[in-house]
Amino acid sequence: MTSSRVSRPVLVAGSLNMDLVARCEHLPREGQTVFGRDFFTAPGGKGANQAVAAARLGARVAMAGCVGRDRFGTALVDGLAADAIDTRFVGTSDQPTGTALVTIDAAGANTIVVIPGANQACGAAAIDAAFQALSGPGVLLLQHEIPDDANRHALTAARTAGWFTVLNPAPARAVPPDLLPLVDILAPNETEAATLTGCPAGGRDAALRAARALLAAGARAVLVTLGAEGALYLDPSRALHCPSVVVPAVDSTGAGDAFLGALGAALAEDQALEAALGFAAAAAALAVTRLGAQPAMGTRDELAAFIAQHGMPVAKPWAEAAGKALNNIA
């Protein structure tokens, strides 16, 4: 299934990591050693994951970032190019390529340790070159695995050039108040939303409280992904809940990136927000049925087949979806 829509460009400024993945029956507790079932390497990094997710769904994607002058770096860039992603804006650094140590249990839950490496060298020059070369305005996807100064520069430049911006504040750290108005959609998961606001995590009601706090702090719109409970979207005029697709989880690594990459692709096609959220939820569900981050990202045809089998979620007004009045959640 190919899109009949004309797609605006998607620029991802973010991380490129090589994931070192161990699968085991149970995640180890502090001080505990467990036996693993197997080990593999896979291309990852939140930025590159989102770029691959969008590209496989038909978006015109460019990647701005940095890798080391090593075999991991070469493999990561070659992998992006194989998915028709523009890699002209991926630079090299004397630091080693970023890596992530991933442990996955039998239920698909994971723990991740990220070593940023060359990602710390991602800066304004690559981002400016991308904006100048691409036929924008389009959709800009950002995360927290590159330096804060790079994200600040990207958001400022994007606002000037009329790009739509999505910031995934992961790993969770504060977003400076003066940057929030430059973010069209702030997209944390529920744990990150709780960390950013100090609100307790746990379920849609807690997510709504956190989203309201972020909106009050200056965000234009907030999208909180809730795993199996779907996603909550809030802006000054509406609140929407999009359910998830229930599937047996093999590996949840990269599910949030699959969601946001698909959202970026849908927004670049000018899909209505409700449709874009359902499209993204289906893409994330497909990803959790497979191992790895980038290897799990589906193509447009694969997603079409998945939707034909499982259906595509429909985003509804929050009060209707929750069966309660929105104002009841203080």
Domain CATH code at residue 292: 3.40.1190.20
- Residue 3: inside a domain: no
Q: In what order do the strands lie in the sheet with 110-115?
A: 36-44, 17-24, 98-104, 110-115
Give the pLDDT band of residue 327 (cuts 50, 70, 90): low
- Residue 239: inside a domain: yes
Whether 179 shows a pLDDT value over 80: the answer reads yes
Output the furthest CA–CA distance in the chain (Å, rounded). 55
pLDDT for position 321: 53
Q: What angle do CA 302, 304, 309 make, to 5 degrees?
A: 95
- Residue 196: inside a domain: yes
> Is 257 one of the annotated active-site residues of the chain?
yes
pLDDT for position 63: 98
- Residue 105: inside a domain: no
- Residue 222: inside a domain: yes
Per cent of the chain over pLDDT 70 is: 95
Report the number of distinct structural domains present in the chain: 1
Containing structural domain, residue 270: 9-14+46-64+76-92+123-323
**Which residue is catalytic, options 70, 257, 270, 301?**
257
- Residue 116: inside a domain: no
- Residue 32: inside a domain: no
pLDDT for position 4: 47
- Residue 111: inside a domain: no
Whether 2 shows a pLDDT value over 90: the answer reads no
Both tokens of 30, joined, read: 């502090």
Decide if 185 contacts 259 (C-beta within 8 A).
Answer: no
**H/E run at residue 63:** strand 60-68
Entry pTM: 0.91
Tell me whether strands 185-186 and 164-168 are parallel, antiparallel or unpaired: parallel
pLDDT for position 126: 95
> What's the mean per-residue pLDDT of the chain?
92
Give the pLDDT band of residue 236 (cuts 50, 70, 90): very high
Q: What is the mean pLDDT of residues 204-212?
A: 92
